[in-house]
Structures are given as C-alpha cells and as structure tokens.
Amino acid sequence: MQDIGDILNNRVLLVALIACLIAQVLKLAIEIIKNRKLNVQVLVTTGGMPSAHSALVTALAAGVGQTLGWQTPDFAVAMVFAIIVMYDAAGVRQAAGKQARILNQMIDELFQEHHEFKEDRLKELLGHTPFQVIAGSVLGITISWLARAAY
C-alpha cells in the first residue's frame, strides 16, 4: 500500500497532471469566449486549444530534466516520448480528423434525400494544429518551471 503513497508524492508526475488539467480548463475558457456558451464536454474530449497531451508530456520531460538532469537517459526517454506524442497529435490524429470530416460530408451529400444511413457520425476533432501543440508545449514547460521555482 505504501507504493500508492509514493506515486502521490511524485512531484514530477503531479506537475505533469496539473499541466494537463490546466490545459483542459483553458480549453473550456476558450470555448466559452469563442462560442459564448458553456460546453463542459470539451473537458473530456481530444483536440482543441491548447493541446493537453503536449502540456502533459512537456511538463513531464521538463520535470525529469530539472529533477534528474538534462544529460540523463531518463530525460532522453521522456523527451523522445514527448516528441512522439506531439507528432501524433499534430500529424496522425489531425489527418484522421480531416478524413472523418470528408467522410461525414460525403455521407451527408449521398444520403441527403434518403435518410437510410443510420450510423453515427465520425468524430472530426481528433488532433491538433501545430500551433495548438506548440501552445500546449509552452504551457507544460511554463507550469513545470513555475512548480520547480515554488519548491
């Protein structure tokens, strides 16, 4: 049972999770400003501004670097992990979202007169623009540095 307590005492992990949570709350605030309505569903969906995935992995990598050193293999692993996650968010998942948008449009046009197609629409907001990924990364690094300065 002590192992669970050790996890909760891991400052690097907690700061990374806080960075992710702050990014999700910022998505809600941006949604309210942009659309003038409260949509709490953005708190649990992928995509949007800023990238919570990017905030999480960059805060994690920065925390590892700050704690264990920038030259350690631990930081190298965290950095490679962060690069893969951010590449996936801006590349593969964004492309899948574009494909979903096109398929939804094709289905709408194809079955416009006959509503025989009963399948759910594909989720279109899967990935991030490069700017959203960069914004999430800056947020994650900033939160990691602020947390490090606070303790």
Q: For residue 20, tell me if it sits in a domain.
A: yes
Q: For residue 115, tell me if it sits in a domain.
A: no
Q: Which domain holds residue 17?
A: 2-91+127-150
Query: Hey, what are 49's tokens?
Result: 């501004």
Q: For residue 44, tell me if it sits in a domain.
A: yes
32-69 pLDDT tens trace: 898 888 888 877 777 788 999 999 999 999 999 999 99
Label residues 86-114 b or e (16+ Cβ within 10 Å = b).
beebbeebbeebeebbeeeeeeeeeeeee
76-122 pLDDT tens trace: 999 999 999 998 887 776 666 677 777 777 777 776 766 665 666 65
Tokens 């492309």 locate to 95
The least confident of 4-13, 71-80, 88-97, 131-140 is 88-97
Residues in Cβ contact with 89 at an 8 Å cutoff, skipping those fewer than 6 apart? 51, 53, 54, 127, 128, 133
| CA gap 147, 9 in Å, rounded | 14
Q: For residue 19, tell me if it sits in a domain.
A: yes
Q: For residue 31, tell me if it sits in a domain.
A: yes
Q: For residue 111, tell me if it sits in a domain.
A: no
Q: What's the total number of domains in the chain?
A: 1
Cα-Cα-Cα-Cα torsion 108, 109, 112, 116, nearest 10 degrees, comes to -60
